[in-house]
Structure 1
Amino acid sequence: MKENGLFLNITSLEQRLKDLQQYAAEDADPTGESWLGSQEEVRQMLQELHLAREELRRLNGELQTTRQTAAEARARFQSLWESLLDRGVLAGPAAPEAEEAPQESWANLLALFNILEDFLFVLDPEGRILQVNLAVQERLGYPPEELWGLNVLQVFPPERQGEAAAVLADLAAGFNQPFPVPLLSRDGELIHVETKAAKGRWGRQEIVLVICRDITPRKLAEAHLRHREEQLRRAQKMEAIGQLAGGVAHDFNNLLMVIMGYSELTLNALGTEDPLRKGAEQISKAAARGAALTQQLLAFSRRQELRPQILDLNTVVADMEKMLRRLIGEDIELVISLTSDLPRLKTDQGQMEQILMNLAINARQAMPQGGKLLISTAQAALNGISCKNFPEARPGQYVCLAVADTGVGIDTALLDRIFEPFFSTKARGVGTGLGLATVYGIVKQHKGGIQVESEPGRGATFKIYFPTYAGKAAEKPEGSALLAAPLGRGERILLVEDDDAVRDFMSTVLEEHGYQLFPAASAAAALEIFQKEQGNFHLAFCDVVLPDKSSLQLVEDLLSANPGLRVLLTSGYTDQRAQWPLIRSRGLPFIQKPCNISDLLRALRIALGENL
């Protein structure tokens, strides 16, 4: 069998090792240390080369060589080459002059180089390229004749060439630690590599070998990891802000409960012509606006009670069209594009309307000179890769709500902050800074995802994904006229509320409407009153979060003593401490703060078993 250039190269390398072995025997320590190592190590390398040549000869004789076997052989040579380089075979003192012609010597050397998957450059001492291997040609796109004679710095980005020169000088001087330096392919693509370099000789020719290993996959993996870490950091930041916002909303709701309640009592006591009535009405309206703000905070912090129902998003959008047109004004064109046969959602309709309103208001403020607002719906499928951008989402079928405007757009540097509460790019006094934060909270609470695409001067597009529901839409119940607020009939109520102002207000209102009140500021005080009155109560009206005990534990204690006792729970929000899933699973009545007097009185009668 005729031996090809690869076998000739192995033979040449074997001869070089034998020459080096003889050289080491004649002068074991020419530089003060053994640069080649023991002769036993050289004999071991020769034996490995011999075995490798026999393996290649066998593989060359097999017509049905598999790609896997070839890859193993290639990896074996790769490892052997790196071992030779690390041991300094090509970086030691001058070897005896090669007998073969330079062209044949380069051919044999190149045959070995072409086995390598790394990018390899053979340079003269001035850094000019003498030869490259196949990897440079195939993966960087440079024909050899285009590089011959050029300085190797030409394959690095222009702005990094100074850095590359310093790195290569350090590497060639013996500081042979991998150092990431990007290469520039012929078509302008940056390829991240780790570079090693070594000085040596081939015959009379002094050379510098530069080996660049492609680490692009590792860089991509690192970038993906950084992206996931940034997602986690952002999620933790938003969660922390949400906890703060939810806590503020809870405390604020207690204040609003008192303000709204007493303003309502005042208005009921004042005549229509009373000069104090206008002021009382303004107090009531301001409290209502405050309640709306706290609802947005609760939506952002995902502590708002959901009232899910099966609905068609197209119907929600269509029903709001008239209101949205009035909201954005006549100088903005509203275009609605709805995909037919859209899958149903199981969601809170009020929150869907809140999303549409907030995004429409945001778009209007981004188009002060007018423009176009496009609202569309579509079906979408999210796979595992897509869901990586939406931590709460899971692969499956979704409905996409897209809201796009032709406004001023959003600076890329601000995109990561637009969902933070109270963050706003608008002028002082324009908006509350809660619009997009509310949208973010609602979407997360529905296990969906939100995506923003925007550039300055090119508008913004918000795409929101909601998981679909396989069931059918429920029929709407027939409406009924509102009834007057029902009065009590002397029922005994154990009121458990830790906020003094709220407790005093509720006691006043309920006593005025026909109930007997026994107020308590804690679970311990409530149990003491309950035992003193021998459990003679019709209803326990408890705040969900108490300072000394869970309201559910308190309710269990009360029900164990009086199984016929009715229960009504209330809170400014329903967080984890409130054990809302247990409240829902047990079907306990609940009313959210703040509420008006009429709603409070109705909730009491329903909790007492009346059908209103």
Structure 2
Amino acid sequence: MWRLSTEIMLVAGMDAKIMAANPAMLALVGQTEQELLGQPFMDYVHPSDRKATLDEVAKLDKGLRTLNFINRYRGEGGVYRTVSWTAVPDNNVIHAVGRDVTAETEAAEQLRKAELALQQSQKMESIGNLTGGVAHDFNNLLQVVSGNLQLLSKEVVGNDRAVKRIANALDGVNRGAKLASQLLSFGRRQPLEPKVINIGRVVTGMDEMLKRSLGEAVEIETVVSDDLWNVQVDPTQIENALLNLAINARDAMDGTGRLTIEACNITLDAVYARDNSEVKPGSYVMLAVSDTGSGMSPEIVAKVFEPFFSTKPEGKGTGLGLSMVFGFVKQSGGHIKIYSEVGEGTSIKLYFPQVLSDEDLIIDMDVGKIEGGTETILVAEDDEAVRATAVELLRDLGYSVITANDAESALVVLQSGVHVDLLFTDVVMPGPLKSPELARIAREKNPSLSVLYTSGYTENSIVHGGRLDPGVQLLSKPYTKEAMARKIRHVFANQAQRNQSLSVTPTPTIIIPATVSRNILLVEDDVLIRLNTADMLEEMGHQITEVGNGTDALKMLESGNFDVLFTDVGLPGISGIELAKGARTRFPNLTVIFATGDPNVPSLAGSGMTKVLLKPYGEDNLRSVLLDIP
């Protein structure tokens, strides 16, 4: 084993040929004395270090008596070792003593990289906090604009010019919302909806969109490996990331050049992880976007992921595209790397960890408008304009409304005895009492109270790991009147079902067995509702399998032989409607029962029956909906 403390000694002539070497030098290069003697010592120096070494040796001719320098020597097996040399001339020969400092050099380099990574991480975290706050205020402003435009639209019916202008303004709101979404993605505060997907299908499915977006002068080459592994990411975000990278590449090529999109399986080993501290060794799927554009200097590369940094002319970009991609990749547990040289183009590589689960079906959901109600809603919102707009939208839907400008004021209202059916509260409000704590206290006093959060961005109080906490209902700003109406009815329906479950008395009942025992897959994210429904169905004699989300339900459908899919509509991630459409694609004869507060559900393909069971439901309702299933 090589000892770092062993001194390396050699003697060389002024012609650079080795005249003598000690055992440590022989061990370093892995040669015998006969093989080494007579060889030019420069042959063993790393090519990148040869000029600097020759420059040092040349100083001897100028009268310098002692040289101190470091270079890399080719050792046994072609592995280079870093050696610190002290050399002195003596009668036309050079006596050199060296010390192997490879370990010290590598340790110093790793420390330097770690310090730079920490500085970058701290900088990105600070910018992320800033952008999260900006997005929150920006979405509040968008909500005021959007809400008032929607209210105004009723008053200009029949005025085509005014209707068109309102539509254009709402389109601007949507673009602004997308901008805020990019900020949140960078700040890693965007609630993701990850699904198990094959990135190759995403890439090939975007061919036409990319061709239209980039223009005919950009040649697009797509290389997708066979047997690509699955990954778990948000499909919408991966599409946005790919589109952003492609548009950046087009601009770097001035609209003309070759864009290469590559997706392949790759293993990042311990050596790569050592040089990239945030990477865990393992199996990844790499998505790379490469261009033949102008490339970037190292100084530019170091800044490209910062929000609002752009090399484009003023007015030609927001500087958020790459920062959004960076935040999304990091929040998805992935890794991003950029390679670029001035005049040589740029390649940006995204790495996502492999997952062993089967691919989820991605189905577009289309649900119609629904009506409001007559319940009483307490709106807790510190922004006066946002609060006023929300109140008008809710009253327009028929609700009675009480307002509070912070959590403490809302708690006073709730403790006063005034009847409230729903607490509609912003997540981020000033004051010592936070919204989640307000909701907890309120529900302790009134377990039947419904709670719906709203926010311009989500914070750790209700989101962990990029996902909403179980049982939390969130309406993100800016929202439409229709989205508000649908979400509120869903929250009320779930609460009504939960209330009914809590009020079930333990008095003996006569259980009427089902005529036919069904194998039912029950999908409900609310634990209390799921347990209560499962109990009622089992008492009827049916076989029940319970899951809490659509992703698990799709996997369970593949592994079991089910007669009925009984699903809530408002599931987190994959909605009940998406789940049902995917299930019917695979199992056309499967009976689907939607449990919902909204009777307007889309039709499903296939020959199986589709039924709607309105919440809240009881045992008789369950028995009735299952009676005429063949």
Q: Does 1:232 align with 2:118?
A: yes
2-structure distance, mates of 1:273, 1:555: 44
Task: List per-residue Cα deviations over 1:83-132 (Å, max 9, x = no partner).
Answer: xxxxxxxxxxxxxxxxxxxxxxxxxxxxxxxxx642355999xxx99966
Partner of residue 369, structure 2:
484
The gaps in structure 2 that reach 5 residues or longer are 42-49, 494-596, 601-630
Q: Does 1:157 align with 2:53?
A: yes
> Which one of 69, 75, 86 corresponds to residue 181 of structure 1?
69
SS for the counterpart of 1:487 is coil
Q: Does 1:467 align with 2:353?
A: yes
1-structure distance, mates of 2:466, 2:437: 11
2-structure distance, mates of 1:288, 1:277: 17
CA distance 1:502–1:382, shift in 2 (3 Å): same
SS for the counterpart of 1:118 is strand
Compute the TM-score of the two structures, normalised by the length of structure 1: 0.70
Shift of 1:214: 2.7
Task: List per-residue Cα deviations over 1:181-234 (Å, max 9, x = no partner).
Answer: 2258699x997544568999xxxx9x9975332323321321222122222222
Partner AA of 2:319 in structure 1: G
Partner of residue 595, structure 1:
479
Q: Does 1:543 align with 2:431?
A: no
Shift of 1:511: 1.4
RMSD: 3.8
Is the Cα–Cα contact under 8 Å of residues 137 and 144 in structure 1 kept in the other structure? Answer: no
Q: Does 1:311 align with 2:197?
A: yes
Partner AA of 1:607 in structure 2: V
1-structure distance, mates of 2:64, 2:156: 89
Q: Which structure shows the higher helix fraction?
A: 1
Q: Does 1:565 align with 2:449?
A: yes
Is the Cα–Cα contact under 8 Å of residues 486 and 601 in structure 1 kept in the other structure? Answer: yes
> Which one of 93, 99, 102 corresponds to residue 216 of structure 1?
102
2-structure distance, mates of 1:155, 1:325: 48
Which structure 2 residues correspond to residues 372-521 of structure 1 after superposition, within 5 A?
A: 372-476=258-362, 481-488=366-373, 490-521=374-405
Is the Cα–Cα contact under 8 Å of residues 135 and 456 in structure 2 kept in the other structure? Answer: yes
Shift of 1:393: 3.7
Q: Does 1:524 align with 2:414?
A: no
Partner AA of 2:53 in structure 1: P
Compute the TM-score of the two structures, normalised by the length of structure 2: 0.68
The gaps in structure 1 that reach 5 residues or longer are 1-67, 80-115, 149-153, 172-179
1-structure distance, mates of 2:61, 2:133: 58
Q: Does 1:606 align with 2:490?
A: yes
2-structure distance, mates of 1:155, 1:368: 39
Shift of 1:266: 1.8
Task: List per-residue Cα deviations over 1:306-337 (Å, max 9, x = no partner).
Answer: 11122221222222211111011111112222
SS for the counterpart of 1:608 is helix
Shift of 1:385: 2.6
Which structure 2 residues correspond to residues 353-368 of structure 1 after superposition, within 5 A?
A: 353-368=239-254
CA distance 1:345–1:520, shift in 2 (3 Å): same
SS for the counterpart of 2:211 is helix
> Which one of 143, 167, 176 corresponds to residue 290 of structure 1?
176
CA distance 1:162–1:227, shift in 2 (3 Å): farther
Shift of 1:509: 1.3
Is the Cα–Cα contact under 8 Å of residues 229 and 354 in structure 2 kept in the other structure? Answer: yes
Is the Cα–Cα contact under 8 Å of residues 74 and 81 in structure 2 kept in the other structure? Answer: no
1-structure distance, mates of 2:202, 2:80: 49
Shift of 1:435: 0.9
Is the Cα–Cα contact under 8 Å of residues 121 and 133 in structure 1 kept in the other structure? Answer: no
1-structure distance, mates of 2:290, 2:150: 42
Shift of 1:390: 4.8
Partner AA of 1:547 in structure 2: P
2-structure distance, mates of 1:317, 1:432: 25
Q: What fraction of aligned residue pairs are identical, expressed as a percent?
A: 35
Partner AA of 1:486 in structure 2: E
Shift of 1:585: 3.7
CA distance 1:229–1:162, shift in 2 (3 Å): farther
Is the Cα–Cα contact under 8 Å of residues 191 and 468 in structure 2 kept in the other structure? Answer: no
SS for the counterpart of 1:334 is strand
Shift of 1:144: 5.9
> Which one of 140, 145, 160 corresponds to residue 254 of structure 1?
140
Which structure 2 residues correspond to residues 243-282 of structure 1 after superposition, within 5 A?
A: 243-273=129-159, 276-277=162-163, 279-282=165-168
Q: Which structure shows the higher strand fraction?
A: 2
Is the Cα–Cα contact under 8 Å of residues 200 and 224 in structure 2 kept in the other structure? Answer: yes
Is the Cα–Cα contact under 8 Å of residues 390 and 449 in structure 1 kept in the other structure? Answer: no
Which structure 2 residues correspond to residues 79-228 of structure 1 after superposition, within 5 A?
A: 117-120=7-10, 133=22, 157-160=53-56, 181-183=69-71, 193-194=83-84, 211-228=97-114
2-structure distance, mates of 1:308, 1:245: 23
Partner AA of 2:423 in structure 1: A
